[in-house]
Amino acid sequence: MRLVFAGNPAIAVPSLEAASESACVLAAALTNPDSARGRGGREEPGDVAKAAAGLGIPVLKFDALRAEAREAVAALRPDLLVSFAYGRIFGPRFLALFPLGGINIHPSLLPKYRGPSPLQEAIFRRDTLSGVTIQRLAPGMDEGDLLCRQEIPLNGRETTAVLSEKAAAAGAGLLAGLLARLDREGAAALEGRPQQGEASYCTLLDRARGIIDWNKSAAEIDAQIRACFPWPLARTAHKGKTIIILEASINGVFADAGKAAGNGPVPGQVLGKDREFGILIQTGDGVLAVSYLQYQTKKALPWRAFLNGAGDLIGSCLSGGT
């Protein structure tokens, strides 16, 4: 059995490794061309490209899956396409190159959160359960028949970075099991079941999702901070300077902190500091305690060190970031 693995970011690397360790032949990794990374803007390969090169797997990089890409893939004589976070649509002519079709690893419990940002959406919505599904590739976005899935319980403190690591490990485990069944049972292992229940969708995350609206509740803003880490990062502004909030918490201890601050603190007002939890900020419902933050382009700091360089923060009002 010959596979082509399509993916780009770090979340897909454990699944690439699982495919390379299976009884199948991993003929190539299909990924995006190199792109500018880091502060220097130097073009570098993506995480899947780096990992594949390290494993001695041929790497194919295309801007689009047109004739050139199809010819290169056809020359590999592949049987099955395996995709995880590739970020491009596979057209019918491309999928026709694979006698067994394609499978896709999707980090949600389909049909919930079809689309490009399911992990962030689960955190934004404060779900108590996430997961990973392997589905057959279908013409519609994430509409394919289900092959297997694994649930991931959420404790309400996960960031996207943490949840991505869990989903990466779960996806690799599911893929390893599926490829083992494929080796034993052949094409019968790829017979799925239709998705059940009402579908929901998520959209591509953009920088605007990181701008904090202090009129929202402390619980909503806390979820936003976690969902936006490591990108696009949750942001607010203090006297025209952008502040990035990296870690925060909500706690019943601070429920009456706003009242203690005087008559009618407004959302975004910095009420004070708590020795254990950090900088206290009034929201539209409740108080947020910020423990780790930074001015944009400056170093991230624990809240005490940050206040050493921002003595006028307490008592001021924060506004939307940029």
pLDDT in tens, 191-237: 999 999 999 999 999 999 999 999 999 999 999 999 999 999 999 99
pLDDT in tens, 21-65: 999 999 999 999 998 776 677 889 999 999 999 999 999 999 999
pLDDT in tens, 156-191: 999 999 999 999 999 999 999 999 999 999 999 999
Q: Which CATH superfamily is domain 2-190 in?
A: Formyl transferase, N-terminal domain (3.40.50.170)
Question: In whole angstroms, what is the distance from residue 11 CA to residue 169 CA?
Answer: 8
Question: In whole angstroms, what is the distance from residue 33 CA to residue 64 CA?
Answer: 10
Beta-bridged to residue 193, according to DSSP, are 146
Domain boundaries, the chain: 2-190, 207-320
Asked if residues 169 and 146 have their Cβ atoms less than 8 Å apart, the reply is no
What are the tokens at 298? 């400056």
pLDDT in tens, 269-302: 999 999 999 999 999 999 999 999 999 989 999 9
Q: Tell me which fold the domain 207-320 belongs to.
A: Methionyl-tRNA Fmet Formyltransferase; Chain A, domain 2 (3.10.25)
Question: In whole angstroms, what is the distance from residue 71 CA to residue 86 CA?
Answer: 19
What pLDDT band is residue 152 in, cutting at 50, 70 and 90?
Answer: very high
Q: Euclidean distance between the first and final Cα of the chain, in Å?
A: 50
pLDDT in tens, 244-265: 999 999 976 666 555 555 567 8
pTM: 0.94
Mean pLDDT on 128-155: 97
